[in-house]
């Protein structure tokens, strides 16, 4: 399934441009919300992520609609239990 996610930051902004583009791109399901990206609680984004199954595709109009930074993006796509840190000791001579 191709799932679309649209978000605008303020109540005054319109979702129409994004949702129309997502439907044109072939999204079978489009979820949207009016909430600032600063907010961690984005119910429709969480619904999108819960809907995804192996082989599904999540489409956004622009990457900044999904996450505000690379760190936020990684936090969304890699569950905490699957993250690992790379540590290497540097020998001091």
Q: Report whether pLDDT(12) > 70.
A: yes
Quote the number of domains for the chain. Answer: 1
Catalytic residue (choose from 9, 14, 32, 69)? 9
HEC string of the chain equals CEEEEEEECCCCCCCHHHHHHHHHCCCCEEEEEECCCCCCCCHHHHHHHHHCCCCCEEEECCHHHCCCCHHHHHHHHCCHHHCCCCCCCCCCC
Residue 83 pLDDT greater than 60, yes or no: no
pLDDT of residue 91: 59
The verdict on residue 63 lying in a domain is: yes
Here the CATH number for the domain that contains residue 33 is 3.40.50.1390
Q: Report yes or no on 31 lying in a domain.
A: yes
Let me know if residue 64 belongs to a domain: yes
Active site (annotated) includes residue 9:
yes
Domain that holds residue 7: 2-76
pLDDT band (50, 70, 90) for residue 75: confident
Whether residue 70 has pLDDT greater than 90: no
């Amino acid at each position: 399934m191709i799932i679309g996610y649209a978000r605008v930051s303020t109540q005054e902004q319109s979702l129409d441009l994004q949702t129309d583009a997502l439907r044109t791109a072939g999204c079978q399901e489009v979820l949207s919300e009016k909430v600032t990206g600063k907010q961690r609680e984005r119910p429709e984004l969480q619904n999108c992520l819960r809907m995804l199954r192996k082989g599904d595709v999540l489409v956004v109009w622009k990457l900044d609609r999904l996450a505000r930074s690379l760190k936020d993006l990684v936090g969304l796509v890699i569950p905490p239990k699957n993250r690992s840190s790379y540590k290497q000791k540097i020998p001091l001579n």
